[in-house]
Every structure is written in C-alpha cells, then in structure tokens.
Amino acid sequence: MTTARDLMTAGAECVGENETLVEAARKMRDLDVGALPICGEDNRLKGMLTDRDIVVKCIADGGDPASATAGQFGQGKPVTIGADDSAEEAMKTMSDHQVRRLPVIDGHDLVGMLAMADVARNLSESASGDVIQDISQH
C-alpha cells in the first residue's frame, strides 16, 4: 500500500502563528510555495495560510500585512492526513474537504506536505481526475 509518507514532500516548513503576513509571504517566496502550515508555540498545527489568504483576506480588506499575524488566519481545525494513511485515503480527504494540499502528520508532529499533484502522479488517471474535478467544483 502506498502511503502519504511515501508520496509527501518531507521537511515541511511552518509559519509561526505569531509571524506577520509579510514574514509569511517572504517565506512563501523563498520556498516557492503558495501555502504554508501555521504552527503554534506548542509546535502543533493551527491551520494553513495561503498566498490567496494574504491578498484576499488581509490586503483587499484594507488590513496591514506587516501587523497581521498568520495565526489570525488559521480557521477551524486544519485538515490533515496521517503519514501512514493510504494514497486513496488522501485523495478522499482532499475531495471531501476540497483542498489541494494536506499537511502530513505523525502523531501531532508535522512531517511533510502532500499535494494533489503528488497523489495524481501515483494513481490512475481516472481516479486522480475524479478528485481534481471534485476539488474544483467549489
């Protein structure tokens, strides 16, 4: 069975919940990513922050990204996948929650990130196509 651990990008970096959106944007730029997990002072996952969150939920609303923190944008319980969960379970989770990226956790520790593209490369075209269609509906 192919697991999330087999497909993920290991060593995911977090943005701290108290870091500003400017710091988060710079980290995204430097890592060439569009989303970062938000980690708390307790090293627990608090949510996800996307480049779109920074633009739409802060800047477009007149917010100051130099004073707004990443933790202000971690909404609800983050959607994750266990490191030992199957690739099929990852696809189902992505589809059910309409997300393209999942933080991969082992216990409470963030161990990597799993993108739809990672899963799609390892599953049949029809299976990955169904998930992409489900995610893109909303």
Tell me the per-residue pLDDT of 2-20, one tens digit each, with 9 for 90 and over: 899 999 999 889 999 999 9
Mind giving me the DSSP string for 14-25?
A: -EETTSBHHHHH
**Residue reference for tokens 């309409």:** 98
Between 109 and 55, the more confident residue is: 55
On the CB side of 58, CA atoms within 13 Å amount to: 23
In terms of DSSP bridges, do strands 35-39 and 9-10 run parallel, antiparallel, or are they unpaired? unpaired
- Topology adopted by domain 4-136: CBS-domain (3.10.580)
Tell me the per-residue pLDDT of 73-101, one tens digit each, with 9 for 90 and over: 876 678 999 999 998 899 899 989 988 88
Q: What is the spatial distance between Cα 9 and Cα 83, in angstroms, rounded to a whole number?
A: 11
pLDDT value, residue 133? 58
- In whole angstroms, how far apart are CA 63 and each of 31, 48, 66, 132? 24, 19, 9, 32
Tell me the per-residue pLDDT of 26-35, one tens digit each, with 9 for 90 and over: 999 999 999 9
pLDDT value, residue 43? 76
Tell me the per-residue pLDDT of 119-136, one tens digit each, with 9 for 90 and over: 877 776 655 555 555 555
Q: What is the spatial distance between Cα 112 and Cα 102, in angstroms, rounded to a whole number?
A: 9
